[in-house]
Structure 1
Amino acid sequence: MKRVLLTTHPTAYLKQGGGEREIHLLKRAFDAADILVDIYGPNSLPIDQYDIVIHFSMVSGSELVLRESAAAGKKMILWPNLWLVSPPTEGHLKYLQALIEIFDAFVFKSKTEEAHFKSLFRIDEKYSINVLPLVTKSFSRKNITPVFKESYGLDRYVIWPGIIEPQKNQLSAIRAFREIEIPLVISGQVRDSDYYEACKREATENVVFIPEMPFASELHLSALAHSELFLELPLDFPGTSALEAAALDCKMLLSKSTWVDELIPSASQVEPTNIESIIESVNKLAFSRITPDSRAPKYQTSEVDAVRGLIEYIKAF
């Protein structure tokens, strides 16, 4: 039986987001598929006890661990989670390409991600593994209580949960909501404090900032399930949080992208920096009755089924 070690960059858990949760969801999927798996840390085994290393992210700082693992003869798999909004410098591109050479295979959660990655890097002789994004089954629950509305004294609202940073583009929504009556609730980990302060400076009274909600808690589920609209307008593409909202059957407005076309094709889309279009779309969706049939189809797949291709690759190794 193969034993797998999951690793990521050293600063990953200082400010957690969807990428860090993916690691734990993948471990749970592997446990269910009878694959022996550990997350790198004080409780993991010596490297010679593992057959395969799966590394999450291409953020710098992991080179020593990765090179030691490769030198020990381990099968190396990269789960890149990389989306560059602007072209990288030549030096950064060289660094990333050198990092890529360590790996034998790559995991992609969408055709969009794979195409973007391959437009930047040469991996012709490497193996590509296609999976689906991991969404915990908590987001398929029914009969979720209105505890969020009760806790914050809100009746109708638009919700945007997730990391707060320039690439996520909360400022565009904040500017649009100057002309929208319904409140916008922003909840998430602050990854860029200067950007967060800029968001607060530009926000009007109907933009409400609340602390990050415990992931998949009753409060988190309630905030999504009882919202008038789920909003996410990043400059790259929406992430797992959008799929979680889709699993809860939320009305959705997302950044226009091939990722949305591929994974949530019926979701409403808008150019993420076009303020007038955001205003028009929010008013249309949040203030209109939309039947369940006209909403985005639910995103439903088990954790094991989502990563079936990766499980089969590991078991065949």
Structure 2
Amino acid sequence: MMPHRPADGSSAHQTGRFGTEPRNMHFKILLTTHSTAFMTSGGGESELVQVAELLNDSDVQADIYGIRSRPLRFYDAVMHFSVHADGEAIVRETVNQGKKLFVWPNVWWLNAPDPAEISRIEAFVQRAERLLFKSATELAHFNTYITVDPGKCVVVGSGISDRFSCCPPTRTCSRRSATSQTTCCASA
């Protein structure tokens, strides 16, 4: 999934996370999830925010769907977190508008889903260009119950967000972090 420059040669500008500097963003992606995802905290919501931060730090414009996101036509692709039934409308609209769809199933079953749920999920993920998994174990677990084209499946290590940096803002760093050239915890 390499970022690409639009055919017209244009680039998007966005305010950086820590200031107002313009950033050249060539690939624009909208991150979505099902409508009730933030009603209970299960970790997936934090993961969605972390992926948005990491993509933005990599010069991919990643917006989380909500009041501050742009219309779907603005984006090159949608990354949808979850295979929950409440997300089907946004997935359907994404496909209907001809956008690339990446699905991050983000599911771990303690018990086998019932056959109707398996059929629904298989139809749901059939629409995706790629299915993204954070580990080979998560992919293997998903494939235990859901039949998918192996060519669609990609294991993507999401890295570590800078918000977990060990340094307070007043210190200089001496250890390299996974997402930046800064290093951690040497005195300023």
Q: Please report the TM-score for the alignment, with normalisation by the length of structure 2.
A: 0.71
Q: Structure 2 unaligned runs (5+)? A: 1-25, 169-175, 181-188
User: How far 1:45 moved relative to its partner?
Assistant: 1.2
Larger relative helix fraction = 1
- Distance in 2 of aligned mates of 1:303 and 1:92: 37
1:24 corresponds in structure 2 to 49
1:41 corresponds in structure 2 to 66
| Structure 1 pair 133–7 and aligned structure 2 pair: CA distance change class (3 A) | same
The 5 A counterparts of 1:214-253 are: none
Q: Structure 1 unaligned runs (5+)? A: 144-299, 305-317
1:52 matched to 2:77? The reply is: yes
User: How far 1:128 moved relative to its partner?
Assistant: 2.0
Q: CA contact under 8 A between 2:125 and 2:131: conserved in structure 1?
A: no
> What is the letter of the counterpart of residue 76 of structure 2?
D
1:72 corresponds in structure 2 to 97
Larger gyration radius, structure 1 or structure 2: 1
User: How far 1:90 moved relative to its partner?
Assistant: 0.9
User: How far 1:72 moved relative to its partner?
Assistant: 0.6
User: How far 1:16 moved relative to its partner?
Assistant: 2.7
Q: CA contact under 8 A between 1:78 and 1:106: conserved in structure 2?
A: yes
- Distance in 2 of aligned mates of 1:38 and 1:92: 29
Please list the CA deviations of residues 139-171 of structure 1 after superposition, one character each: whole Å capped at 9, or x if unmatched. 45279xxxxxxxxxxxxxxxxxxxxxxxxxxxx
Q: Please report the TM-score for the alignment, with normalisation by the length of structure 1.
A: 0.43
| Structure 1 pair 137–34 and aligned structure 2 pair: CA distance change class (3 A) | closer
1:302 matched to 2:160? The reply is: no
SS of equivalent residue, structure 1 residue 43: coil
Q: CA contact under 8 A between 2:31 and 2:48: conserved in structure 1?
A: yes
> What is the letter of the counterpart of residue 17 of structure 1?
G
SS of equivalent residue, structure 1 residue 117: helix
1:63 matched to 2:63? The reply is: no
- Distance in 2 of aligned mates of 1:301 and 1:111: 24
> What is the letter of the counterpart of residue 96 of structure 1?
I
Q: CA contact under 8 A between 1:136 and 1:303: conserved in structure 2?
A: yes
- Distance in 2 of aligned mates of 1:36 and 1:133: 16
Q: CA contact under 8 A between 1:104 and 1:126: conserved in structure 2?
A: no
State the number of aligned residues. Answer: 148
- Distance in 1 of aligned mates of 2:41 and 2:145: 26
SS of equivalent residue, structure 1 residue 82: coil
SS of equivalent residue, structure 1 residue 61: helix
| Structure 1 pair 127–55 and aligned structure 2 pair: CA distance change class (3 A) | same
Larger relative strand fraction = 2
1:83 corresponds in structure 2 to 108
Q: CA contact under 8 A between 1:58 and 1:96: conserved in structure 2?
A: yes
Residue among 127, 131, 139 paired with 1:106:
131
- Distance in 2 of aligned mates of 1:46 and 1:138: 28
- Distance in 2 of aligned mates of 1:101 and 1:114: 16
User: How far 1:98 moved relative to its partner?
Assistant: 1.2
1:121 matched to 2:155? The reply is: no
The 5 A counterparts of 1:204-283 are: none
User: How far 1:129 moved relative to its partner?
Assistant: 2.0
Please list the CA deviations of residues 48-84 of structure 1 after superposition, one character each: whole Å capped at 9, or x if unmatched. 1111100011222111111011111111101111111
| Structure 1 pair 301–111 and aligned structure 2 pair: CA distance change class (3 A) | farther
- Distance in 2 of aligned mates of 1:118 and 1:105: 14
Residue among 14, 30, 33 paired with 2:39:
14
SS of equivalent residue, structure 2 residue 46: helix
| Structure 1 pair 124–39 and aligned structure 2 pair: CA distance change class (3 A) | same
| Structure 1 pair 47–133 and aligned structure 2 pair: CA distance change class (3 A) | closer
